[in-house]
Amino acid sequence: MSDSIVFCSSQRFRKPLGDFIANFRQLLVNYGMFVEILEPEFENRPDSFTNLTEAERLKKDATYRAGVAGAVFEHLCKKVFPARRCLIFNKDGYIGFNTGGELFAAFSLGKICYALDDRMLIGDYAAGNLHEEPSARKLIHAVVPTPEELIKRFL
C-alpha cells in the first residue's frame, strides 16, 4: 500500500512551504521511498495580496471572493480526502481560517495530522494580533518542524 500526505498552509507561506516540500522530496529520493505528495494549488498572487488577512482579501478582490470557496472545496475533495496523512504548515504557529478548516476535516476523516509548530495561533498575522486556538492543537498527532523529522514518520 502506498502512502500519501497532503500539505495545508496559508497562502502567505507558499514559498517556505515549497522549500519544505522540495527538501522532503529529496529525502524521499535519498531513502528510495515513494510517498504521494498532495500540495495546495495557490493562485499566483503578489505577496501584497497573500499577506492580507482573509477578511481583507475577501473585501478587496471580488474574483478571489467568488472563487475561494470552490478552491477550498477542491482542495478538500481532491487532496485532503484521499491522503493518508496531513501536515499543517503552521509557520510561526499561525493557521489561517481555511487551514484550520482543513485540519478539522483531515482529523474528522481519520488522517494522521502533523504540524510544523506546536502552537496553533489564529488572528491577524501581519499585525501580530494572534491568540492560541487550543481545540486545533488537540487534533495534532505530532509536531514535525523539519522535513527530516517528517520523513522519520514514514520509516
Instruction: Find how far residue 22's CA is from the centre of its chain.
Output: 15
Confidence class for position 17, pLDDT limits 50, 70, 90: very high
Confidence class for position 15, pLDDT limits 50, 70, 90: very high
- Residue 75: what pLDDT? 72
- Sequence spans of domains, the chain: 3-152
C-alpha cell at 35: 510517498
* pTM (two decimals): 0.88
| CATH code linked to domain 3-152 | 3.40.50
